C-alpha cells in the first residue's frame, strides 16, 4: 500500500527532529569514507525550471567534493518548456525525460524503461528531491516512482509536498523543523570576470564612468511593474541619471506603468527597452517628460550562465527582485534588500524569514516594514530612502549564513547515508537507538552519550 504525502510528512515528530539533530552534529565532524559506489539523484523540475535545477546542481557539486571517486547519476523529469534551459551539469551523468503531462507525476510513457532505472537505483545510494518523482495509483495514493526506499529524501524549503519515503528526511527551510537554506559564499566578483560581453558593451565602455552615472538593478522575474517603481524610489536621492534594470523576461513598453512613471517625483525624461537579437542591440524609446532629467532603461537579458548570474547579481544594487528558492537564497547570501515575487506555496518561507528579521532588528525594523509592504502592495508603510534598510539587509545576510545555512548539514547527511551503506551493523544500531529514544527509553543526554552507536 502506498504512503500518502500528508501522513508521511506529519509523522515527522519533535522527537525525530531532536534525534536527527544529534546525528547530524556528530557527522559534521566525521571524515567521509572515500567510496566508488554510485550516487543516484532523482527529482522533478517544475515552474521555470531554474530553481529546482539549481538545487540539483548544488547537490552534485557538494557530493562530488565530498566523494570525488563516486560516480553520480542524475535522473530528472522535466516539462518540454524546460528543454533549452537545462544545461549539462559537471561531475555527473545527467538524464532528463521531458513530459507534456501533469506536474509532479511520473508519466506512463516512462514505464518501458522503469525497470532499467529501478535496477540502476537499487544498486546505488539513492537521494530524492527537492521535488520527488511520484506516481498516482487508481486509489489516489501517492507512491514513490522507484520501488526501493530512498536513503535520503530532501524536502524543498518550508514545504511538505512531494516527499518520498526515505530512511533519512532532510527538511530544508526556515521552519522550526527546517535545517536552513543553501547559502553562498560572498566572493569579491569584478566586472572583468563577467563573460557576457554583449551585456557589458550595452552597459559601459568604462566601468568607472558607468558607475558614476548609472544605477544597476537586478530583477529576476519578480513583478516588473512594481519593481521599477521601487528601484526609482531607492534611487531617488542618488546622483546617477540613468537607472538600468536587468530583466529576465521579454517585455514591451506597454508592460510598464507608464502613467505612474510620468510622476514628477521620479524626474524621468524617457524609458527605453533594450533587447538582444542574435547579439545585436534593439532599443525602443518612449519620452515621458521633456523636462525630466533621468533615464530608465529595461534591459532584457534573456539568459545568463550560472556563473554570470551570480556575478551580476552580486555587482548590482542593494535592491534585488527575486522569486522561488534559488534567487531568494542568492539575494539573502549577498545581503540584498529582497523584492520577493511571492508564489502561493512560498508564503511560509516568506513569513519565517520575516520572523527572523523581527527577532533580529525588532518589530518596527524598516526591513520588516518593507517586506510586509511588498506583500500587501502598500507603498506608504516603508521608506526605501532610509539608509538603515541597506545595513539591516547586510546584517540579515550574516545571520542567515551563520545560523540558518544548511550547507554543512547537507554534507553531514551525505556522510551519514554513506556510512549506512558501508556498514550494515551501523545502520541497525542507529535504528535501534532511534527507536529507544522515540519510545522514551533513553533521554536526550543518554542519546548524546550512546551516539555514535558504539
- Domain definitions of the chain by residue range: 31-184+405-422, 191-403, 425-453
Fold agreement between 31-184+405-422 and 191-403: yes
Single pTM value for the model: 0.86
Instruction: Report pLDDT for 380.
Output: 59
| Mean pLDDT of each 10-residue bin along the chain, 454 residues long | 38 76 87 84 80 89 93 88 81 86 58 74 85 62 66 82 77 86 90 89 87 91 89 81 90 87 88 78 81 90 84 94 86 92 75 93 93 73 81 95 94 92 86 88 83 61
Query: How, if at all, do strands 280-287 and 214-219 pair?
Result: unpaired
Find the radius of gyration of the CA atoms of the chain. 24
What distance in Å separates the CA atoms of residue 406 and residue 333, rounded to the nearest whole number?
12
Residue 341: CB atoms within 10 Å? 20
Instruction: Report pLDDT for 10.
Output: 46
CATH code of the region 31-184+405-422: 3.40.50
What's the CATH number of domain 191-403, 2.40.30, 3.40.50, 1.10.3470, 2.60.120?
A: 3.40.50
Instruction: Report pLDDT for 454.
Output: 52
> How far lies 345's CA from each of 262, 371, 446, in Å?
35, 17, 39
Instruction: Report pLDDT for 399.
Output: 95
Instruction: Report pLDDT for 143.
Output: 64
Bond from prior residue into 419 cis (ω within 30 degrees of 0): no
Grid cell at residue 216? 544597476
pLDDT in tens, 334-385: 999 999 876 666 788 888 999 999 999 999 999 999 988 887 766 555 677 7
Grid cell at residue 338? 529582497
Instruction: Report pLDDT for 137.
Output: 52
The residues, ordered by sequence, that sit 6+ positions from 311 with a Cβ below 8 Å of its Cβ are 189, 193, 194
Instruction: Report pLDDT for 239.
Output: 74
Amino acid at each position: 500500500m502506498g504512503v500518502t504525502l500528508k501522513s508521511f510528512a506529519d509523522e515527522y515528530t519533535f522527537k525525530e527532529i531532536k534525534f536527527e539533530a544529534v546525528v547530524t552534529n556528530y557527522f559534521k565532524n566525521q571524515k567521509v569514507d572515500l567510496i566508488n559506489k554510485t550516487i543516484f539523484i532523482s527529482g522533478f523540475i517544475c515552474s521555470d525550471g531554474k530553481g529546482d535545477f539549481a538545487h540539483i546542481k548544488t547537490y552534485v557539486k557538494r557530493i562530488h567534493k565530498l566523494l570525488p571517486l563516486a560516480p553520480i547519476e542524475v535522473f530528472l523529469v522535466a516539462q518540454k518548456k524546460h528543454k533549452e534551459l537545462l544545461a549539462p551539469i559537471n561531475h555527473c551523468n545527467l538524464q532528463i525525460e521531458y513530459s507534456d503531462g501533469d506536474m509532479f507525476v511520473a508519466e506512463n510513457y516512462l514505464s518501458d524503461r522503469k525497470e532499467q532505472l529501478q535496477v540502476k537505483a537499487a544498486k546505488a545510494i539513492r537521494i530524492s528531491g527537492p521535488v520527488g518523482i511520484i506516481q498516482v495509483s487508481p486509489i489516489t495514493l501517492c507512491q514513490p516512482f522507484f520501488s526501493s526506499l530512498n536513503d535520503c529524501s530532501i524536502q524543498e524549503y518550508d514545504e511538505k509536498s512531494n516527499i518520498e519515503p526515505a530512511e533519512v528526511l532532510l527538511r530544508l527551510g526556515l521552519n522550526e523543523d527546517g535545517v536552513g537554506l543553501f547559502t553562498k559564499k560572498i566572493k569579491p566578483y569584478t566586472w572583468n570576470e563577467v563573460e557576457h560581453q554583449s551585456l557589458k558593451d550595452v552597459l559601459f565602455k568604462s566601468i568607472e564612468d558607468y558607475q558614476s552615472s548609472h544605477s544597476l538593478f537586478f530583477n529576476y522575474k519578480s513583478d516588473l511593474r512594481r519593481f521599477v517603481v521601487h528601484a526609482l524610489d531607492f534611487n531617488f536621492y542618488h546622483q546617477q541619471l540613468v537607472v538600468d534594470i536587468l530583466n529576465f523576461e521579454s517585455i514591451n513598453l506597454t508592460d510598464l506603468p507608464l502613467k505612474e512613471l510620468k510622476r514628477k517625483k521620479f524626474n524621468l525624461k524617457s524609458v527605453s527597452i533594450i533587447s538582444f537579437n542574435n547579439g545585436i542591440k534593439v532599443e525602443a524609446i518612449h519620452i515621458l517628460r521633456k523636462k525630466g532629467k533621468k533615464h530608465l532603461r529595461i534591459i532584457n537579458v534573456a539568459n545568463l550562465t550560472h556563473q554570470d548570474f551570480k556575478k551580476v547579481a552580486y555587482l548590482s544594487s542593494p535592491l534585488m527582485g527575486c522569486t522561488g528558492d534559488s534567487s531568494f537564497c542568492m539575494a539573502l547570501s549577498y545581503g540584498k534588500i529582497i523584492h520577493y515575487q511571492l508564489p502561493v506555496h512560498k508564503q511560509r518561507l516568506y513569513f519565517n524569514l520575516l520572523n527572523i528579521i523581527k527577532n533580529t532588528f525588532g518589530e518596527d525594523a524598516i526591513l520588516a516594514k518593507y517586506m510586509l509592504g511588498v506583500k500587501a502592495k502598500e507603498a506608504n508603510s516603508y521608506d526605501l530612502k532610509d539608509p538603515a534598510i541597506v545595513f539591516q539587509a547586510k546584517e540579515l545576510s550574516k545571520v542567515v549564513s551563520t545560523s540558518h545555512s544548511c550547507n554543512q548539514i547537507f554534507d553531514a547527511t551525505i556522510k551519514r547515508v554513506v556510512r549506512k551503506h558501508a556498514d550494515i551493523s551501523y545502520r541497525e544500531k542507529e535504528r535501534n537507538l532511534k527507536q529507544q529514544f522515540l519510545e522514551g527509553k533513553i533521554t536526550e543526554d543518554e542519546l548524546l552519550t550512546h551516539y555514535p552507536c558504539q
